[in-house]
């Protein structure tokens, strides 16, 4: 297995020219852009001084029917009045097919139009759009902020994605960046970015938990740092739990306090929700908060204490702790093994969240970097290195493959080319050969997973290498190269080394694996290790038997009558039948013994064929032509 040299992008640097690089946190609720300037990493602000850009895009049409697209706070303001044309939380839809979204909240909220390839489109007043296009609008707005602040077009960006994002979601993120005209240096896992912002990558090794509670999602990841590489040991969380749920709990509390039986108009209801959010954020630093709402003659006031709020959300926070516990259990580790806990996401400002996290892990979490910004800041640091501004920077931080990648080989077995947890980018090559005489095509079946058999792994792609020149079995050399880029995207190529015929695929599965599925696949591989090893031995024994009978049959067909007595020939045919019968069973030792027996029985025949070959080759030559002339 050859490990091929990997070149990192942008390592050649003109020392006199700093490049403009930025890190982008493309969030479900809020997005940010950050950059390293004069040694300081900072988030970049819009003209009115806001760092956070609400991840919301409004698609309207002006009087003449021309489309008008607004992004950020202005779009968010339209969410209440024009919800159908205001797309929020597009990140939840990225790289997802209609089938996957069926029954989700988003499916009820937006008008999806089915398109080919199964990805969704959204119908708006300004025509149809897609989650990729919505994300591109957000990226464009941030990039513009970046180039205005940094004084020119950006040379490259690092965009963060959740650790559990699969290939399709990562590819959709890349597509959005391309649409926004951005040069993507790398996609980086959000928890990894947070760890980088805290400088944890400069440590030797250690276990870090990243607890990320955003607006509508909760992600918890366990990272292990070793030799400068972060490995995602386990991830978990809840895709429909976040700070917004706190808002709803607080709103119910406020309603109960106000006028339990008063029916609020929809507009008042919406304003109450906005008030609830404001109250929640205030309660992160104050012990009580007052609120008031007026509509016409109606004048409502009230106050909420932090204790009341905490009471109302305690079960939600407990739920996040349960997720964290599951992650630790999946990794087979206890809380005491964790070296540090990092808080990410605006909702971790809630004091109750901090308290519960601290009490579960038994140590104070790291909070001194703004939890809203920490991901963008880490991404900016990576971007600065990747764009080449730090030529003497140490080893670049890498992510690892979550599951092994391999190929289906004969007998339904999986040959792993790249083991799980291998740092990416990576390229590995291996040579395979043909199984049958004259085989002119080879099916390349790309697999993902830890188990030994095809049936237990996940199929990623299939393609065929055609035009292999006719040769005897085992003579063709098929070189298969697996290449995983820094974003975790896999390309596979196969070529016949003699003729150079090549076939290749880029693996872009439209439905990837969720973190639960990955965990499940890993668990089952551990549970079945013994069973798998036995199954592998059986399949290999059968394969050897099949290969021998195949070769012997073809030899008998060619030369059997010319070289063997009827009796010997019949004996060999019987041997073939007998071996075939045994190979149908599952006694590995017996299959091996019968294979060996037939192999020995056919040895004299093989020798006769060899002699015949030599005689043919020598025909028309004298011995002097082929034997070395002895010097006298
Ligand atoms: P995402 O990663 O999903 O884009 P963020 O990390 O920006 O989301 O988190 C947004 C959430 O954080 C919202 O629910 C917001 O109300 C909440 N939040 C922001 N500031 C505070 C605060 N001071 N106290 C409590 N919650 C806050
Ligand atoms: Mg976030």
The token pair at 407 is 């190929």
If you measure from the C-alpha of residue 333 to the centroid of ligand 1, how many angstroms do you get, rounded to a whole number?
Answer: 30
Ligand nearest to the CA of 243: 1
**341 contacts 377 by C-beta, under 8 angstroms:** no
- DSSP letter string over 214-259? -SS-EEEEEEEEETTEEEEEEEEEETT-SHHHHHHHHHHHHHHHH-
d(CA 250, CA 282): 12
> Which residue has a Cα nearest atom 26 of ligand 1?
347
The DSSP 8-state label assigned to residue 209 in this structure reads E
Take atom 8 of ligand 1 and give the residue whose Cα is closest: 214
Q: Structure pTM? A: 0.66
Q: Chunk the chain into consecutive blocks of 10 residues (it has 632) and report each block's average pLDDT, rounded to whole numbers.
A: 32 62 97 94 95 96 86 91 87 81 71 62 86 96 97 96 82 92 91 92 85 93 80 83 94 84 77 92 97 82 95 97 92 92 97 98 96 97 88 56 83 87 79 86 87 84 86 87 80 87 67 54 65 79 87 88 90 92 88 90 85 68 44 38
User: Which pair of tokens denotes residue 143?
Assistant: 């990039």
Centre of ligand 1 from the C-alpha of residue 92, in Å: 17
**Residue having the nearest C-alpha atom to atom 3 of ligand 1:** 214
State residue 398's pLDDT score: 53
Catalytic residue of the set 91, 140, 280, 416 = 91
Nearest to 186 by CA among 421, 398, 404, 372: 398
Report pLDDT digits (tens) over 323-337.
Answer: 999 999 988 899 999
pLDDT of amino acid 51: 97
d(CA 58, CA 76): 8
539's tokens: 């399949």
Nearest CA, atom 19, ligand 1: 346
Q: What is the pLDDT of residues 370-396, one digit of tens each?
A: 999 999 999 999 999 888 887 665 544
> Beta strand 205-213 with 340-344: parallel, antiparallel or unpaired?
parallel
Instruction: Report the alpha-carbon distance of residue 307 to residue 350 in Å, rounded.
Output: 12
Q: Which domains does the chain have, with CATH numbers?
A: 21-241+319-397 (3.30.420.40), 401-512 (2.60.34.10), 529-618 (1.20.1270.10)
CA 117 to chain centre: 19
Distance from the alpha carbon of residue 349 to the mean position of ligand 1, in angstroms? 8
Is 392 in the active site?
no
Query: Six-digit token pair at 200?
Result: 């944890």
Task: Tell me the chain's radius of gyration from C-alpha atoms.
Answer: 32
pLDDT for 612: 78
Q: Which of 100, 166, 175, 190 is catalytic?
A: 190
Structure tokens at 301: 């006031």
Active site residue 532: no
- In angstroms, the Cα distances linking 33 to 47, 156, 284, 383, 510 are 14, 12, 25, 11, 28
Helix axes 529-555, 588-618, angle to 10 degrees: 30
- The Cα 446–Cα 405 span in angstroms is 7
Helix/strand/coil for 86? strand
515 is catalytic: no
Instruction: Report the residue among 197, 215, 251 best suited for mutation to probe ligand 1: largest number of ligand atoms under 8 A from its CB.
Output: 215
Q: Catalytic: 190?
A: yes
Q: Is 267 exposed, middle or buried (0-12, 13-18, 19+ CB in 10 A)?
A: exposed
Is residue 331 classed as helix, strand or coil in its secondary structure? Answer: coil
End-to-end CA distance of the chain: 47
Residues at CB less than 6 angstroms from ligand 1: 27-30, 214-217, 242-244, 277, 280-281, 284, 345-347, 349-350, 372
Residues 408-419 pLDDT 10s: 987 888 999 988
Res 164: pLDDT:
78
- The single residue of 19, 25, 137, 247 carrying the catalytic annotation is 25
Out of 46, 137, 167, 212, the active site residue is 212
């Amino acid at each position: 297995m050859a490990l091929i040299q990997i070149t990192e992008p942008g390592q050649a640097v003109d020392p006199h020219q700093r490049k403009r690089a930025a890190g982008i946190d493309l969030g479900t609720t809020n997005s940010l852009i950050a950059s390293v300037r004069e040694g300081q990493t900072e988030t970049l602000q819009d003209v009115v001084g806001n760092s956070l850009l609400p991840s919301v895009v409004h698609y309207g049409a002006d009087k003449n029917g021309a489309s008008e697209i607004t992004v950020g706070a202005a779009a968010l303001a339209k969410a209440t009045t024009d919800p159908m044309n205001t797309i929020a939380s597009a990140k939840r839809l990225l790289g997802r097919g209609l089938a996957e979204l069926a029954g989700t909240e988003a499916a009820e909220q937006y008008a999806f139009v089915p398109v080919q390839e199964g990805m969704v489109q959204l119908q708006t007043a300004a025509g149809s759009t897609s989650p990729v296009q919505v994300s591109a609008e957000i990226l464009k707005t941030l990039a513009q902020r970046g180039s205005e602040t940094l004084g020119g077009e950006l040379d490259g960006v690092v965009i963060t994605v959740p650790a559990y994002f699969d290939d399709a979601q990562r590819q959709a993120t890349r597509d959005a960046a391309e649409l926004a005209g951005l040069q993507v240096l790398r996609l980086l896992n959000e928890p990894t970015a947070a760890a980088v912002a805290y400088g944890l990558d400069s440590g030797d090794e250690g276990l870090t938990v990243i607890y990320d509670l955003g607006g509508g999602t909760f992600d918890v990841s366990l990272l292990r740092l070793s030799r400068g590489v972060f490995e995602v040991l386990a991830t978990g969380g809840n895709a429909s739990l976040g700070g917004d749920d706190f808002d709803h709990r607080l709103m119910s509390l406020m309603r109960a306090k106000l006028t339990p039986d008063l029916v609020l108009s929809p507009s008042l209801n919406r304003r109450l929700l906005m008030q609830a959010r404001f109250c929640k954020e205030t309660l992160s630093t104050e012990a009580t908060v007052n609120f008031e709402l007026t509509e016409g003659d109606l004048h409502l006031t009230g106050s909420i204490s932090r204790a009341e709020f905490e009471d109302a959300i305690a079960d939600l926070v407990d739920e996040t702790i349960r997720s964290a516990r599951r992650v630790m259990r999946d990794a087979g580790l206890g809380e005491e093994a964790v070296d540090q806990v990092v808080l990410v996401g605006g909702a971790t400002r809630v004091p109750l969240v901090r308290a519960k996290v601290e009490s579960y892990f038994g140590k104070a979490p790291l909070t001194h970097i703004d939890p809203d910004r920490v991901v963008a800041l880490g991404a900016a640091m990576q971007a600065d290195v990747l764009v080449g501004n730090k030529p003497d920077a140490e080893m670049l931080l890498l992510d690892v493959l979550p599951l092994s990648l391999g190929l289906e080989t004969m007998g339904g077995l999986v040959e792993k080319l790249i083991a799980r947890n291998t740092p990416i980018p990576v390229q590995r090559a291996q040579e395979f050969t043909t199984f049958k005489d004259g085989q002119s095509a080879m099916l390349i079946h790309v697999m993902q997973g830890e188990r030994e058999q095809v049936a237990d792994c996940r199929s990623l792609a299939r393609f065929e290498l055609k035009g292999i020149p006719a040769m005897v079995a085992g003579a063709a050399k098929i070189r298969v190269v697996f290449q995983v880029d820094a974003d975790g995207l896999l390309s596979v190529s196969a070529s016949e080394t003699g003729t150079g015929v090549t076939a290749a695929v880029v693996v872009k599965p439209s439905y990837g694996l969720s973190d639960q599925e990955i965990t499940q696949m890993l668990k089952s591989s551990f549970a079945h290790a013994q069973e798998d090893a036995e199954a592998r031995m059986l399949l290999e024994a059968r394969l050897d038997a099949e290969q021998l009978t195949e070769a012997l049959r073809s030899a008998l067909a060619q030369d059997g009558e010319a070289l063997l007595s009827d009796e010997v020939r019949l004996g060999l045919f019987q041997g073939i039948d007998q071996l075939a019968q045994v190979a149908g069973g599952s006694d590995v030792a017996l299959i091996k013994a019968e294979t060996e027996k037939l192999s020995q029985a056919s040895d004299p025949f093989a020798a006769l064929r060899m002699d015949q070959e030599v005689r043919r080759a020598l025909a028309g030559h004298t011995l002097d032509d082929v034997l070395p002339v002895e010097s006298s």
